[in-house]
Amino acid sequence: MSFNSLFDATSYFETVSEVSESWDLVKNTPNHSEILGTHLFRRMYETAPNDVIWKAYSFSREDVEEKSEKFLVFAKRFTRMLDVAVSMLGPDLDTLQEAMYDLGAMHERYEVMPHHYDLMGEALVYALEHVLEPHHYTPATKKAWKELYAFMAENMMEGASDLW
Q: Phi first, then psi: what are they for 154, rounded to 5°?
A: -60, -45
For residue range 24-60, list pLDDT tens digits in order: 999 999 999 999 999 999 999 899 888 777 777 888 8
139: pLDDT strictly greater than 80: yes
Q: 87: pLDDT confidence band, cut at 50, 70 and 90?
A: very high
* pLDDT mean over 84-94: 89
Amino acid at 34: E
The correct answer on CATH 1.10.490.10 for the domain covering 6-161 is yes
* DSSP symbol at 60: -
Question: Could you give the 3-state DSSP secondary structure of residue 98?
Answer: helix
Where do the domains of the chain lie?
6-161
Q: What is the pTM of this model?
A: 0.89
Residues 150 and 44: their CA atoms lie apart, in Å, by 17
The DSSP-derived string for 58-90 is S--HHHHHHT-HHHHHHHHHHHHHHHHHHHT-S
For residue range 94-112, list pLDDT tens digits in order: 899 999 999 999 887 777 8
* pLDDT mean over 75-101: 91
Residue 142, Cβ density class (10 Å: 0-12 exposed, 13-18 middle, ≥19 buried):
middle
